[in-house]
Amino acid sequence: MGKIIKAKETTSSKERVRRVIRHEKPDRVPINYSSNPIIQGRLMEHLGLAKNDHAGLVRELGVDFRGMGAGYTGPALHVSERSDRMVNGMYGYVCRWIENEAGGYWDYCDFPLEFADAEKVAGWAMPNPDHFNYESLEAQIDATDGYAVHLGGAGTACVINTAGFFRTMEQTFVDLITDDEAGLLLIDRFIGQQLAVLERELSAIEKIAKKRGKKVNEMLDFVWMGEDLGTQHTPLISMEIFKKHILSRQKPFFELCGHYDLPTLMHTCGSSSWAYEEYIKAGLTGVDTLQPEAHNMDPKYLKETFGGRLFFHGCISTGGPLAFGSVEDTKKDCAAILETMMPGYEYCFAPTHALQDNTPPENIVAAYNVAHSVGVY
Tens digits of per-residue pLDDT, 304-347?
A: 999 999 999 999 999 999 999 999 999 999 999 999 999 999 99
Q: How confident is the model at residue 23 (pLDDT cuts 50, 70, 90)?
A: very high
Q: What's the N-to-C CA distance of the chain in angstroms?
A: 29
Give the DSSP letter string of 177-203. HHT-HHHHHHHHHHHHHHHHHHHHHHH
pLDDT at 300 over 80: yes
Neighbouring-strand partners of residue 351? 316
Q: Which CATH architecture has domain 13-75+115-373?
A: Alpha-Beta Barrel (3.20)
Rg, C-alpha atoms of the chain? 20
Q: How confident is the model at residue 195 (pLDDT cuts 50, 70, 90)?
A: very high
pLDDT at 148 over 90: yes
Give me the pLDDT at residue 295, please: 98
CA distances from 65 to 16, 34, 89, 141, 171 (A): 10, 11, 28, 13, 36
Averaged pLDDT for residues 75-104: 94
Q: Are 224 and 267 in contact (CB under 8 A)?
A: yes
pLDDT at 81 over 90: no
Is-above-0.95 flag for pTM? yes
Look at residues 263, 268, 232, 233 and name the one whose alpha carbon lies nearest to residue 247. Answer: 268
Give me the pLDDT at residue 80, please: 86
Give me the pLDDT at residue 273, please: 98
Neighbouring-strand partners of residue 350? 315
pLDDT at 1 over 80: no
Q: How confident is the model at residue 116 (pLDDT cuts 50, 70, 90)?
A: very high
Tens digits of per-residue pLDDT, 58-69?
A: 999 999 999 999
160 burial (CB, 10 Å; 0-12 / 13-18 / 19+) is: buried
Provide the residue ranges of all domains of the chain, joining segments of one domain with +: 13-75+115-373
- The mean pLDDT of the chain is 97
Averaged pLDDT for residues 28-32: 98
Tens digits of per-residue pLDDT, 212-249?
A: 999 999 999 999 999 999 999 999 999 999 999 999 99
Averaged pLDDT for residues 156-165: 98
DSSP 275: G
Query: Where do the DSSP E strands lie in 77-214?
Result: 86-87, 94-100, 103-109, 148-152
The percent of residues in the chain predicted with pLDDT above 70, rounded, is 100
Give me the pLDDT at residue 220, please: 98
